[in-house]
Every structure is written in C-alpha cells, then in structure tokens.
Amino acid sequence: MTIALPVKRIAALNDGVAEILCAMGAQDLIVARCGATMPPSILNVPSVGENDYSPNVEALIALKPDIIFADSMLPYNPTSYQQLKDAGIPVYIIDTTAPEPVNPSNMTKDQLYASPTAVDFTCDIIQKLAAIVGHQDQATAYINWAQYYNKLVKDRIYSLPRDQFVKVFIEWYDYPYQTFVTQSVYQAGGINIAENQTVYSPVLNPEFIVQQNPSVIIEYILSPTHNINDFIAARNAILNRPATQNTTAVQTGRVYCIDWNARSGVRAVIGYLYWAKWIQPSLFPDIDPATINQELNQKFFGTSIAGTFGYPEGPV
C-alpha cells in the first residue's frame, strides 16, 4: 500500500495498537478507536464500534483518517474491509499478539534465549509504527526501557538448570481447560503441560491436567475495568473446581490470574515479569511487577493508572 506522510489523522481500531500509539506520544493523532480503554485519556477519542470486526464504517469514513490500523479480525468482515479500502483509506493490518509459536521443549538454553519474547514482538511493532507516524524518540525510549526488563528475565532464566523448570497450565478465560501452546511458559522458567498438543489452542481433558500435575496454574482473564474483584473471583473459581483439586498448583495455592492486556502490546513486559515471578519466585525476589507497571504509566502516559493486571501480585 501507499501511505502519504506525514500521517496526521489515525484510526486505531485495535486496542493494543491504540495504547502503543499513546505510549509513543502520538495520542493527539488518533481520531477514532473501537474498544480501547487504556490509557483512560483515550476515552476522549470518538468510538466507532466495539471491535475491529464490526466498525461503524460510515462514522469511520466521516472522520477522514489518513490511515486505519486494525488487527486481523477486520478482514474476516469482507464487506466492511472492502468499503474502507474503496474509500481510499490505507488499512494497515497489525496484530499485537505473536503468531502461533513453535514448541520450544527441545530447544537448547541458547536457542530458548535467542527466541523472541512477547516483549520483542511489541518492540518490533513499535519500530514499524514509528516509521509511519514518527515519534521515534519516544518509541526508542520505550524500547530501551522494555528491553532492560526483557533481558533481565532472559538472563536469569538462562542460568536456571532445565531440571528446575516447573510444570505450568495456562487457561483461557471463560473457556475451562482451553490452553495455548506458547513458548512464553518456557521463557519464564516453566514447562507447558500442553507442549505435545497438535493444535495451537487445544481444550485439555481434566484427567490429563491432573495426570500432568502442574505446579502452577495461570488463568487469563479479561477485566475491562481492571477490578481486583474480577481476579479474586476467577482465582477462587479455579481453587474450588472439583476436577483439578488434586493438582499441586491448587493444593499449594499457586493459582494466578493475568489480565489478557498484560500479555501483549505495551504491557507485554508486565505480563512477562508476572509470569517469571510466579513460576520461578526464587529468581525474582527483587521484582515487583505492579510497581514496574506504575513506572510504565508515569514514564509513558504521564499519570498513575489504577487497576489490577496480575493477582496475587507475589508468589503464594
């Protein structure tokens, strides 16, 4: 596609991209959003729909954006997608979550260290966006800040003997026993009990989970207001679930909840720190992800932002 520079009016239909642009100091260029709520100041930008899949095309075109950033949900709505392209607006498809990963269980520690993390993926996106919207200085500042913590985790996990990696079960919110084959578990010092599944997002049998006996369970949740009560309720639901009562994770209380928005985009670094601290607490006694999250807010959004992104915040 051809994009006329400089870009002065942006429609950020993906909430992760909208937050990245704000962190880059480009919020004043955003004239339309969909479900984005972070940072809170983005709520002043007109909303043109709940998500990328079903934007209000007429309202969006009326705002005359120079470019539309959307994720891969938009092309699944070919009518809206074609209408936007027919209007002559460049549509840049960009996902803030990494594509389907490989199984890293047989990687050497050097190969695992070299494997890109979710933080690396976000930093790559930011460089691509800076080439279009500018704000390179702020983009570089974020990348340098995030890579400091990215390297900190990778260095400490690199020193961990493989026989000290612990079994982990990741569960998708609202879908009991659905999981992901993701290298992020290994990059945080864990072994994904779903590593040998043949699809990216399988639904596991509860008996299989008990047989694998994870030491840690991490539940993705979606809490639009980042309300701690949502996290407490989700954690209690797992702790009280009869089918997996006999797992080490439940019996020792090592059940944690992570906000989906802390595993990609600007806050991928926060999610990475939470996972590492939960899975290998002895390696990260000096790391407080909640404090670092507030550091991010102050440094790149210029304000404190209330809300929970991981619970419990420390190991139990």
Among the three residues 93, 123, 144, which one is the final residue of a domain in this structure?
93
Q: Is residue 63 part of a domain?
A: yes
φ, ψ at 218 (rounded to 5°): -120, 125
Q: Is residue 276 part of a domain?
A: yes
In terms of domains, do 181 and 299 share one? yes
Q: State the residue range of the domain holding 75.
A: 10-93
- pLDDT (tens, 9 = 90+) of the chain, 316 residues, equals 788 889 999 999 998 999 999 999 999 999 999 988 888 899 999 999 888 888 999 999 999 999 999 988 898 999 999 999 999 999 999 887 766 666 788 889 999 999 999 999 999 999 999 999 999 999 999 999 999 999 999 999 999 999 999 999 999 887 899 998 888 999 999 999 998 887 888 899 999 999 999 999 999 998 888 999 999 999 999 999 999 999 999 999 999 999 988 888 999 999 999 999 999 999 999 999 999 999 999 999 998 888 899 999 867 6
In terms of domains, do 43 and 184 share one? no
In terms of domains, do 81 and 212 share one? no
Distance CA 254, CA 214 (A): 10
Q: Is residue 1 part of a domain?
A: no
Q: How many CB atoms lie within 10 A of CB 163?
A: 5
In terms of domains, do 281 and 192 share one? yes
Query: What is the CATH classification number for the domain harbouring 73?
Result: 3.40.50.1980
Among the three residues 32, 65, 93, which one is the final residue of a domain in this structure?
93
In terms of domains, do 172 and 306 share one? yes
Q: Is residue 119 part of a domain?
A: no
Q: Is residue 171 part of a domain?
A: yes
Nearest alpha-carbon partner for 27 in 35, 16, 37, 19: 19
* Helices vs. strands in the chain: H and E counts, helices first: 12, 9
In terms of domains, do 48 and 176 share one? no
